[in-house]
Amino acid sequence: MLLGAIEAGGTKFVCAIGNEEGLIEKRKQFDTTTPEETMKKVISFFKDKNIEALGVGSFGPIDLNEKSDTFGYITSTPKAGWKNYNILGELKKHFNIPIGFDTDVNGAALGEMNFGAAKGLKSCVYMTVGTGIGAGAVVEGKLLHGMLHPEMGHIILNRHKDDNFEGICPYHKSCFEGMASGPSIEKRWGKKGTELGENHKAWDIEAYYIAEALVNFVLILSPEKIILGGGVMKQKQLFPKIRSYLKDMLNQYVVHKNLQEDIEDYIVYPYLGDNAGICGALALAKNIL
Ligand code: ADP
Ligand code: ZN
């Protein structure tokens, strides 16, 4: 069976054809320019490909409430031209097939569940730490939505004792994303993350904030696996630091082998690597059938 997948990002759109096993057969990416220009390329990529369903993992915020007048819209994004854009409606005009639509991070969580690190489990959290921070979750085998959709990148954290950075979130200044996204690292240290050595103090502070967030996720959602992706997580030295801080912060209040001897297998880099997003969109297509 052929399935279509769209990883709709603020910088680029990745389109792929794959199957229900998560295998990608063909892919192409386009820069995110105006909706008209970008969607024209996306639509022509999928035309005549005989896909049976399409999955879209999108940047947001997006409206996922099927009863809402703006269901399927990208809503309050600051990205020029995309505010209140009916992305799902545009795709439906051209493709009369089931279309699964969700946040990019919910897609990635579902992808890791179907094809990756969380296979065989009933719950996981997938978090990306990149230009922004966002997380998606599968709970009891289902994607977590709620009133709108969770925005776990904007939670409020305690400040690291050696950090006076004011934060860069335009809404909350020093929320998690404001303190720990790729651009916040660059602003704090005056250099891109890729230019800081792996022993730089930045990574200790970064791991501390990520661990604080994970404490909250563990306490609120009790996920069976936590998957950390996005550009910043390419700094592999973060993983042991995050695991160690998480253990310290939880202080044995939550008792499970995942938080002790199995922690290396509990907090992991995406099994799907750089394909986490696009395979996630493929999982959204599979999920809608
Ligand atoms: P996006 O979030 O836009 O989809 P990425 O996940 O690649 O894309 O995140 C981009 C951010 O991650 C940038 O702020 C960039 O500086 C940072 N970044 C990318 N690669 C690395 C790396 N290897 N080490 C540290 N930071 C990185
Ligand atoms: Zn914020």
Ligand of minimum distance to the alpha carbon of 57:
1
| Cβ proximity of 279 and 24 under 8 Å | yes
Which domains, and CATH codes, for the chain?
3-104+274-288 (3.30.420.40), 117-269 (3.30.420.40)
DSSP reduced 3-state for 212: helix
Question: Each residue of 42-86: pLDDT tens digit?
Answer: 999 999 999 999 999 999 899 999 999 999 999 998 888 999 999
Question: Each residue of 130-164: pLDDT tens digit?
Answer: 999 999 999 999 999 999 999 999 999 999 999 99
Q: What atom of ligand 1 comes closest to residue 192's alpha carbon?
A: 16
Q: What atom of ligand 1 comes closest to residue 277's alpha carbon?
A: 4
Res 80: pLDDT: 87
Question: Each residue of 213-270: pLDDT tens digit?
Answer: 999 999 999 999 999 999 999 999 999 999 999 999 999 999 999 999 999 999 999 9
How many Cβ atoms are within 10 Å of 214's Cβ, its own excluded? 24
Question: Each residue of 3-45: pLDDT tens digit?
Answer: 999 999 999 999 999 999 999 999 999 999 999 999 999 999 9
User: What is the rounded end-to-end Cα distance, in angstroms, of the chain?
Assistant: 11
Full-prediction pTM beyond 0.95? yes
- Measured from the CB, is residue 192 less than 6 Å from ligand 1? yes
Res 163: pLDDT: 98
Task: Report the chain's mean pLDDT, rounded to a whole number.
Answer: 97
> What's 274's DSSP letter?
G
